[in-house]
Structure 1
Amino acid sequence: MDFTYCEFPCTVSLDTFKAYFNPNDVKLPKISGKSLLSSQPGLADAAGSNNNECQTNQVKSLRHLVLDAIVENWSEVPLYEQLPRHEDRNYILSQLDVELPLELLSAHISDDYFWERSFQQRWRSATMQLRGRERPWINIYMERHLQEFIENMQTGDYEPEGNVQTTLDICAAYINQLEINQLQPAPPGSDTNDHIPLDYLLANLPDLQRLRLSYCTKTAGCNYQLGCNQLSSRDIALLAKGLSQCHELRSFCIHNTKLAPYQLRLFAHCLDKGCHHLNALSLMHCAIGDAGIRSFMENCTKESFATLTMLDLTNNRITEEGAYILSRTLQHVPLQHLVLRLNPIQSDGAAAIFNTLQVMPIKVLDLGSCSITESITKLFMLLMCQHKTLLEIDLSNNCLGEDFGKHLLKVLGLNKILEHLDLRNTGMSMDMRHKFKTFLLKNVERKKHEALKKMQREKFMAMMQL
């Protein structure tokens, strides 16, 4: 059987192919990683040189000569959908040059295999991204292409109606997620430290659902100047303008970027008024402090962030004062995931947070490295006994001590909901932490058993209705 011309589907894995065909009876090309001879040296020796000579001297059919001509002239006559046979399309996809103009490729080809091959060939050192059933490779490719375009653009090269619009015409329809890890600084001698404006870019991404952004500069080089890693007044105004038009935004994260109180006020206003479906907000390593928390929360009402379920404020210099402000405001927010890690809120701030959790459907709480002491013992025991939704708690790297663990050991058996409790580096022994883990494993096993019984019961009721 001759598969020399790639008439099998290019997306078939090598293991699947070997399950249905005998490698000694077929001839495969050494392209696209489908060659059994190239992947198994022992098999190549067993096949001998006759097989290779046969493949080399084999005359191509007229059909394959025509397909080769289509591939060579594809930039002038992009034939793909016009080919009726799937075998011919597979051949075109396996031979087509991935470095052809992007606007030409995206206009005629949406095949997942081709865009996966294009991504891997262009970004060989990139870690393979996880993709779900609704994440086509063309989307992943376009998102990475736009990210690279924005991160490498110099402030003097920004042309909204020129290079920016050209790139958006190609990519915008495929952008659901966007991650920007750096922005180029302004050139030396500039009066301001403005970065490229993001208002026009964000306003022209109608399907953007996730945005992760940092204004830090990793490769400033000779362009480095004092303040190039900070947001200017113009930067924050244009970013807020762009965010207010991201009506489909579900998740927004800005990290490693120092934010002043007046900038947080603008963030609160634009996110509240423009992003009506926001369910995840992360302000990590932004040094916002208590003043920033106050400015942000002062612009929020009871109706603000009605869909917010995750708030991450990791490492923002928030003290007990900021924790009090958060506890008063978050009572009206349906949070399920709260992260205050690396903030010195101390025991008083943790107490305020614990009181607020009683009226919230919280499932994950992270208070690691928050300077909490054993004085919080009583309130935490009440939380363990009364709260009905908490699944995970992180109290690692706090000075809780052995007495805290002894009291917790007495009440933990009353909690049938909690599944994970991180108490590393809290002054407790390994044996005590192992006992906690045993209690929590019982909760996990019981929940699995109850879910199985519920599924069987629903299946039985459905059968009875038939």
Structure 2
Amino acid sequence: MRSIIAEDPNWSLDLVPSLSSLCQRCIADTVEEKYLFEKLTPELKDSIQSRLSLSLPLHVTADLVPDGLFWKRCCQQRWKICDISQYDYSWKRMFFERHLENLIELFIPEETEFKVILDALALCKNYVKRLNITQLLLTSRKFVKGRDDDQNEIATLSNEEEDDPSICHFDFGPVLAELIHLEELHLVYTIKQCGMNFEWTMFQITDRDCRALTLAFKGCKTLKVLRIRQSQVDDKKCRPLLRCLMDHPSLIELDLAHNILRDGGARSVGELLSKGRLEKLNICNNEIDVHGAKILAQALSNNSTLRYLNMRLNQVRDEGGQAIVEALQNNTTLTYLHLGGNDLTSITAVVLSKVLLKNETLKTLNLSCNSLGEVGGKALAEAMVHNSTLTECDIRQTEIDETNAASINKAIWDNQHDPTLHHSDISVGN
């Protein structure tokens, strides 16, 4: 009987790779052959994707490698936190969205070559549905010598010059024109790590940015959600932005929270509500007062699409609050209303209680951090007994006594008609 004596003492027949393994290795080495992937079973696809090198050029893998283990490995290698549920459980979508977001967030106008963005767009455009931009860098500032001989300070050019070329952010026009599947755009005009170079202009949208965005939105017909938060959007900047969205074919959600909108901004938002197709509006933490609230109330009374309205942390007070709640007598679509932190008192609560007797649409109401008092609490408690649609009511920190709070809580619980649901978020304020 013949025997084989190996030169390697550690050699074993068990180390000889199977034919299947050799074939998988061959396919992994010839990743350009896309048709090979299409003929494999899901198990073999995962096996091959686990063998692919993560250093392969993106222009090779973008269209050739389908969604799966390879893109999961790419994401986990690059980012510590990877919540795939935010990307329709697609690792490939997560990779390309976050890859493009990183390029934009690190882009320096007039310094970074725009070809970097264009090259990435050619690979990303078929997979990007949402862009969440958390910072936008400014171009290098121009400095001039100051006149203080003692301090020898360096002063920047005046920030009041609207078209100062030293103050500009990334231009989204070419990007939005290429992203044919983009549905959500989230923008924050800020810089995360400004260090000792801090200036207020680093944390605000400029007039030039607004003009650029108006042109960009016209070329993005698929956009459904627009969020511009914490960017110092005022009345002047708000008007051109919202005017270009009047006839937008797909926009259903607008979020301008944590800005500085006042009466003019409320007027622009009201016009959009009257002519647009918005279903969700968030304008919390602005500076909208009584007059702005009345403008919004008039638009709300004639609106037939809006379902969600968040006006938390404004300054509408009782006069504005009454106008908003009275608009609910004519509105038949709004299901969520947040008026927390608006200096409301029992006067608004009494008017609201009368409206709740007739309104059959509102399901969620938030009046937290107001001063409704005992009179307001009693009026709401009596109205809730006759209202069968409201299933959530937040009255934390509203100075309502325990008896009325308990009555409201019981009415809300009865409206839910489901013992598995949790109690509404209600507590008594001091």
TM-score calculated relative to the size of structure 2: 0.83
Name the structure 2 match of 1:463.
Answer: none
1:346 paired with 2:317, answer yes
C-alpha displacement at 1:87, in angstroms?
4.4
Letter aligned with residue 378 of structure 1 = V
C-alpha displacement at 1:441, in angstroms?
1.6
Partners of 1:185 and 1:229 within 8 A in 2 = no
* Residue ranges of structure 1 left out of the alignment (5+ in a row): 1-52, 449-466
Comparing 431-440 with 149-158, greater Cα deviation is found at 431-440
Partners of 1:75 and 1:100 within 8 A in 2 = no
Name the structure 2 match of 1:313.
Answer: 283
Partners of 1:310 and 1:335 within 8 A in 2 = yes
Name the structure 2 match of 1:67.
Answer: 24
**Per-residue CA shift, 1:393-422, capped at 9, x if unaligned?**
000000111222222222211001110000
C-alpha displacement at 1:237, in angstroms?
0.7
C-alpha displacement at 1:90, in angstroms?
2.7
**Per-residue CA shift, 1:167-220, capped at 9, x if unaligned?**
100101111111111101221317531112111111221211111111111122
Name the structure 2 match of 1:114.
Answer: 70
Counterpart selection for 1:252 from 217, 226, 239: 226
Counterpart selection for 1:217 from 191, 197, 215: 191
**Per-residue CA shift, 1:241-296, capped at 9, x if unaligned?**
101211111111110011232321111221113x2221111111111122322355
Q: Distance in 2 between matches of 1:295 and 1:123?
A: 40
TM-score calculated relative to the size of structure 1: 0.77
Counterpart selection for 1:292 from 239, 261, 265: 265
Q: Distance in 2 between matches of 1:379 and 1:197?
A: 47
1:72-87 alignment runs, 5 A limit: 73-74=29-30, 80-81=36-37, 84=40, 86-87=42-43
Q: Distance in 2 between matches of 1:76 and 1:85?
A: 18
1:149 paired with 2:103, answer yes
- Secondary structure class of the residue paired with 1:253: strand
C-alpha displacement at 1:328, in angstroms?
1.9
* Alpha carbons of structure 1 residues 411 and 269: separation in structure 2 relative to 1, 3 Å: closer
Counterpart selection for 2:131 from 178, 183, 189: 178
1:232-247 alignment runs, 5 A limit: 232-247=206-221
Counterpart selection for 1:128 from 53, 62, 83: 83
Q: Distance in 2 between matches of 1:137 and 1:76?
A: 20
C-alpha displacement at 1:120, in angstroms?
2.4
Letter aligned with residue 314 of structure 2 = N
Letter aligned with residue 94 of structure 2 = I
Name the structure 2 match of 1:444.
Answer: 416
**Per-residue CA shift, 1:37-80, capped at 9, x if unaligned?**
xxxxxxxxxxxxxxxx9999643224323433543x34676774
Partners of 1:243 and 1:270 within 8 A in 2 = yes
Partners of 2:46 and 2:69 within 8 A in 1 = no
Q: Distance in 2 between matches of 1:332 and 1:348?
A: 19
Partners of 2:257 and 2:285 within 8 A in 1 = yes
1:206 paired with 2:180, answer yes
Letter aligned with residue 205 of structure 2 = L
Letter aligned with residue 321 of structure 1 = H
Counterpart selection for 2:56 from 72, 79, 100: 100
Name the structure 1 match of 2:364.
Answer: 392
Partners of 1:186 and 1:223 within 8 A in 2 = no
* Residue ranges of structure 2 left out of the alignment (5+ in a row): 1-9, 144-164, 421-430
Name the structure 1 match of 2:93.
Answer: 139
C-alpha displacement at 1:427, in angstroms?
0.8
Counterpart selection for 1:325 from 289, 292, 295: 295
Partners of 2:345 and 2:376 within 8 A in 1 = no
Letter aligned with residue 199 of structure 1 = G
Name the structure 2 match of 1:337.
Answer: 308
1:426 paired with 2:398, answer yes
Comparing 337-346 with 282-291, greater Cα deviation is found at 282-291
Partners of 2:187 and 2:228 within 8 A in 1 = yes
* Alpha carbons of structure 1 residues 422 and 187: separation in structure 2 relative to 1, 3 Å: same
Partners of 1:314 and 1:340 within 8 A in 2 = yes
C-alpha displacement at 1:447, in angstroms?
11
C-alpha displacement at 1:88, in angstroms?
3.5
- Secondary structure class of the residue paired with 2:255: strand
C-alpha displacement at 1:331, in angstroms?
2.9
Letter aligned with residue 101 of structure 2 = Q
Partners of 2:141 and 2:167 within 8 A in 1 = no
Q: Distance in 2 between matches of 1:428 and 1:199?
A: 51
Percent identity, please. 27
- Secondary structure class of the residue paired with 1:369: coil
* Alpha carbons of structure 1 residues 447 and 386: separation in structure 2 relative to 1, 3 Å: farther
**Per-residue CA shift, 1:293-337, capped at 9, x if unaligned?**
23554x6584x11x2111110111111111011112233322111
Partners of 1:80 and 1:109 within 8 A in 2 = no
1:357 paired with 2:310, answer no
Letter aligned with residue 354 of structure 1 = V
Name the structure 2 match of 1:435.
Answer: 407
C-alpha displacement at 1:116, in angstroms?
2.8
Comparing 187-196 with 103-112, greater Cα deviation is found at 187-196
1:413 paired with 2:350, answer no
Name the structure 1 match of 2:4.
Answer: none
* Alpha carbons of structure 1 residues 56 and 222: separation in structure 2 relative to 1, 3 Å: farther
